Amino acid sequence: MSAAIVEPAVFAFTPENAARADAIIARYPAGRQQSAVLPLLDLAQRQHGWLPRAAMDHVAAKLKMAPIRVYEVATFYTMFNLRPVGKHFLQACTTTPCWLRGSDEVVKACRTVLGIGVGESTADGQFSLVEVECLGACVNAPILQVNDDFYEDLDGPATERLLRALQNGETPPHGSVTGRQTSAPAGGPKTLTTLTFDAAPAAEGGE
């Protein structure tokens, strides 16, 4: 178990976020304002870095819900972090396609560079690593999600380079680290390598 979590006593949206929250709530028809619970929790998590109880209570009060109903939602979805996470929140996909493509190397690289395993955080609070289920980008497996960005086509050395760059305060461009275009074939195009256009079939009598 990690050290006891220090829960903030109070939480309130910043003025900008409060305005955004109001805009989100206004999307829903009258009497259905509680539907805004998920976007509001997300907003609170983005503001605070993680989701303390005070934030859930704040959302509950804002939506006039019983706090337990918000706790139920927040504990159900794994993307809400109910305990502090590092500044760089690493989510390694280890589901079958990523695993087949070497996600073990990605996880091992985190251990090598950061000294943390799955479910752990670095002492300086910079990095946290968790294992997640399919991130939905299997064509570019394996994937490491850092906060909101996907880094794709990783292997051990590439992951190490990525982590060291992050340690140095850089933000490498996200997407495929091998430089391939989205999910195009890894070694360059295999089909349609030349663009030759046959003359259009002769049409009797013109177009």
Partner 1 sequence: MPKLKIDGIDIEVPPGTTVLQACEMLGVEVPRFCFHERLEIAGNCRMCLVEQEKAPKPIASCAMPAADNMVIHTNSPRARKARQGVMEFLLINHPLDCPICDQGGECDLQDQAMAYGFDRGRYRENKRAVKDKELGPLVKTIMTRCIHCTRCIRFATEIAGVEELGATGRGENMEVGTYVEKALTSELSGNIIDLCPVGALTSKPYAFTARSWELRKTESVDVLDAVGCSIRVDSRGPQVMRVLPRLNEAVNEEWISDKTRFAYDGLTRQRLDRPYVRRDGKLAPATWAEAFGEIARRMEGLAGTQMAAIAGDLADAESMYALRALMDALGSPNRDCRQDGAAIDPAVRASYLFNTTIAGIEAADVCLLVGTNPRWEAPLVNARLRKRWRRGGFEALRLGPEMPLTYDVTELGNDPAALGAIADGSHAAAERLKAAKAPMLIVGMGALARPDGAAVLAAARRVAEACGMVRDGWNGFNVLHTAAARVGGLEAGFVPGAGGRDVAGILGGAASGEIGLVWLLGADEIDMQRLGRAFVVYQGHHGDAGAHRADVILPGAAYTEKDGLYVNMEGRVQEGRRAVFPPGEAREDWKIIRAFSAVIGRPLPFDDLAAVRAALAAAAPLFATRETPAAAGWAAFGAPGPIAAHPFRSPVDDFYMTDAICRASITMAECSELYVRGGVAAHTGTHG
Site residues, partner 1 (CB under 8 A): 53, 66-69, 71-72, 75-76
| Closest of 97, 71, 67, 96 to residue 82, by C-alpha | 71
Q: How far is the CB of 64 from partner 1 (least distance, A)?
A: 11
Angstrom distance (rounded) from CA 162 to CA 171: 9
| Closest of 155, 163, 179, 178 to residue 101, by C-alpha | 155
Nearer to partner 1, 22 or 72 (CB): 72
Q: Are 133 and 175 in contact (CB under 8 A)?
A: no
Nearer to partner 1, 76 or 197 (CB): 76
Nearer to partner 1, 73 or 135 (CB): 73
Angstrom distance (rounded) from CA 103 to CA 144: 9
Helix ranges (H only) for 27-93 are 37-48, 53-63, 67-76
Q: How far is the CB of 12 from partner 1 (least distance, A)?
A: 19
Q: How far is the CB of 41 from partner 1 (least distance, A)?
A: 14
Nearer to partner 1, 43 or 60 (CB): 60
